[in-house]
């Protein structure tokens, strides 16, 4: 990827684009100019890596649902498997040159043969994470998060998987050693372990890590390299003693690694969405693939800020970005903090409120102090939270896409949830309208294609617009109109809140990754925000970019 893709200077992508707007409380602009605030990336968080022996690094892209090849000399990225089949958390090469990858959300294990044919070779293994071949061709995968087990799998898919170990302690990125034992981190124990896959015996190799996530042997297969996601350290573990030595200190958020035949260590970072190369001889580090955002989804403009600073829920981080110059001025990272995979964000004078659509233990609401960034509250949201809005009294309104409900979460400890409205068709985006005579909130319904207004006093509903295709992000414009990302038609529209009239503002946008099996509606939402100047801001999940539409007089 060329360095020019990451310049801070915003470039016009469609100067002079005529975008007719509908009349509302004030006269809307007659046209907008589309610009890049933060340029994009090929990835939506880089995960598993494997050197293919042909001058490329295979890189898995879970949320982007793709598998890529990265040229080791130039850093050029190409796509081997695109969405939705390529939802890979880890990737490996088989003895015959086939590429294998794990579908964490789908629970499927995939294989692409050298002739380009792709098929599922195992199913119903939710949380599939890491995989590796033993020297004799036997194949092993592990479940993590949505399961905790090690399995042996037939590489051809003809035989059903065989469970080797149940609940080893979150066994993650592993590799077989010269002794045919499997070496890998036990995340929950902060250890590196050695597993005899024939007997199930687990032995400790090294300990004292914070969040060890992956290991690889050096080229001579004598020592292990370990990446720790919470500390950002690349550590060499000498065998058989287990003695540790820090080789390089990298940014936190490391996810996986691969070692080339020249002993260069390639490290992926899902928070920074990049790949770095470490020379273990001197600890020097260089970027191979660079990005500025990871998985930009929900966005919010800081109230009354003339610079229109944006908070970006970047899934693996919360970032603050200058709306005018595109500089990332603050990043709070998952794993090394208490942040929990933010997918939606709203901002008030005092607070930043985050929500995540991850189902299970990761699904939470989090309230942060806007001034200090300190985490004030974490509220479990087991049904998966999409859009979230904080009202003046501190009550939270939350869209539950999986259940079709709009709920209130009060300020008590522990928080109490009450249903304000139900039967919604995949509610995703929320825009509060609290200054109206009858305060309410606008809701996008990704499944039913509606925008609905829900009255806060009693939950009464009014359909504002229908016939949309997968509407997600929504924001209230200063002129009273609603700005909506209609993801299914890849366009930005304005909706007259009184009449429901829909006007197309921009089309052909790079938004809307296809839905993947095992994920709730609108899983990675396309975010929309409106500044006081009338500038419209939109995130791109496909390009991992942030765009703006500037009104032209």
- Of all helices (H) and strands (E), which one includes residue 35? strand 31-38
Q: Quick check: 447 pLDDT over 60? A: yes
> Is residue 516 within 8 Å of 84, Cβ to Cβ?
yes
Q: What pLDDT score does 183 carry?
A: 97
Q: What pLDDT score does 342 carry?
A: 95
Phi/psi at 487 (nearest 5 deg)? -65, -35
Q: With CA atoms as reference, report the closest residue to 549 among 19, 6, 4, 9.
A: 19
> Is residue 222 within 8 Å of 248, Cβ to Cβ?
no
- Can you tell me the distance from the alpha carbon of 81 to that of 60, in angstroms, rounded to the nearest whole number? 10
Taking the alpha carbons of 186, 189, 190, 194 in that order, is the dihedral positive or negative?
A: negative
For the chain, list the domains and their CATH numbers. 14-40+293-552 (2.120.10.30), 49-289 (2.130.10.10)
pLDDT tier at 347, thresholds 50, 70, 90: very high
Segment 352-370 shows an average pLDDT of 86
Angstrom CA distances, 139 to 58, 150, 154, 193, 442, stand at: 18, 11, 7, 18, 50
- Can you tell me the distance from the alpha carbon of 43 to that of 40, in angstroms, rounded to the nearest whole number? 9
Segment 223-227 shows an average pLDDT of 96
Q: What pLDDT score does 134 carry?
A: 96
Q: What pLDDT score does 3 carry?
A: 36
pLDDT tier at 15, thresholds 50, 70, 90: very low
Q: How confident is the prediction for the chain on average, in pLDDT?
A: 91
Q: Quick check: 219 pLDDT over 80? A: yes
Choose between 158 and 27: higher pLDDT. 158
> Is residue 280 within 8 Å of 265, Cβ to Cβ?
yes
Q: Quick check: 343 pLDDT over 90? A: yes
Segment 345-368 shows an average pLDDT of 88
Q: Which residues of 69-106 are buried (b: 16+ CB within 10 A; e: fewer)?
A: bbebeebebeebbebbbbbbbbbbbbeeebbbbbbbbb
pLDDT tier at 383, thresholds 50, 70, 90: confident
Q: What pLDDT score does 360 carry?
A: 61
Segment 27-46 shows an average pLDDT of 87
Chain segment 226-268, per-residue pLDDT in tens: 999 999 999 999 999 999 999 999 999 999 999 998 999 999 9
């Amino acid at each position: 990827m060329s360095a020019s893709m990451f310049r801070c200077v915003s470039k016009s992508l469609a100067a002079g684009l005529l975008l007719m707007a509908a009349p509302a409380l004030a006269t809307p602009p007659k046209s907008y100019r589309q610009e890049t605030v933060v340029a994009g990336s090929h990835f939506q968080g880089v995960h598993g890596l494997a050197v293919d022996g042909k001058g490329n690094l295979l890189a898995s892209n879970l949320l982007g649902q793709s598998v890529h090849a990265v040229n080791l000399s130039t850093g050029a990225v190409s796509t081997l498997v695109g969405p939705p089949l390529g939802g890979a958390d880890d990737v490996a090469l088989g003895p015959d040159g086939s590429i294998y990858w794990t579908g964490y959300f789908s629970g499927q294990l995939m294989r692409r043969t050298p002739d380009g044919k792709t098929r599922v070779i195992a199913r119903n293994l939710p949380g599939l994470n890491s995989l590796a071949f033993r020297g004799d061709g036997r194949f092993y995968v592990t479940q993590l998060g949505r399961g905790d087990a090690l399995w042996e799998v037939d590489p051809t898919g003809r035989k059903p998987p065989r469970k080797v170990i149940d609940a080893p302690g979150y066994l993650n990125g592993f590799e077989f050693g010269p002794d045919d034992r499997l070496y890998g981190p036990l995340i929950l124990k902060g250890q590196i372990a050695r597993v005899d896959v024939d007997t199930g015996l687990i032995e400790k190799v090294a300990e004292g890590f914070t969040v060890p996530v992956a290991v690889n042997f050096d080229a001579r297969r004598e020592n292990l390299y370990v990446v720790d996601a919470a500390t950002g350290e690349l550590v060499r573990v000498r065998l058989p003693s287990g003695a540790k030595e820090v080789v390089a200190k990298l940014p936190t958020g490391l996810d996986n690694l691969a070692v080339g035949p020249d002993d260069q260590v390639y490290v992926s970072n899902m928070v920074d969405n990049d790949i770095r190369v470490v020379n273990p001889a001197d600890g020097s580090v260089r970027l191979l693939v660079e990005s500025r955002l990871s998985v930009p989804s929900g966005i919010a403009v800081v109230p009354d800020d003339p610079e229109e600073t944006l908070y970006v829920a970047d899934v693996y981080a919360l970032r603050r970005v200058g709306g005018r110059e595109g500089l990332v001025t603050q990043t709070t990272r998952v794993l090394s903090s208490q942040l929990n995979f933010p997918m939606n964000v709203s901002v008030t004078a005092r607070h930043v409120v985050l929500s995540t659509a991850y189902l299970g233990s990761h699904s939470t609401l989090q309230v942060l102090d806007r001034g200090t960034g300190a985490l004030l509250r974490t509220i479990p949201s087991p049904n998966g939270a999409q859009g979230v809005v904080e009202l003046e009294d501190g009550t939270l309104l939350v869209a539950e896409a999986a259940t079709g409900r709009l709920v209130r979460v009060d300020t008590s400890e522990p928080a109490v949830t009450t249903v304000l409205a139900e039967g919604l068709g995949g509610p995703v985006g929320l825009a509060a309208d609290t200054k109206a005579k009858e305060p309410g909130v606008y809701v996008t319904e990704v499944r039913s294609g509606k925008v609905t207004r829900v009255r806060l006093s009693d939950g009464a509903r009014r359909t504002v617009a229908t016939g949309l295709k997968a509407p997600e992000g929504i924001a209230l414009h200063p002129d009273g109109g609603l700005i909506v990302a209609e993801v299914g038609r890849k366009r930005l529209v304005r909706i007259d809140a009184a009449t429901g009239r829909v006007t197309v503002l921009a089309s052909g946008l790079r938004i809307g990754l296809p839905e993947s099996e095992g994920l709730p509606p609108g899983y990675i939402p396309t975010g929309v925000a409106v500044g006081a100047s009338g500038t419209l801001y939109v995130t791109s999940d496909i390009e991992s970019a942030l765009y703006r539409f500037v009104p032209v007089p």
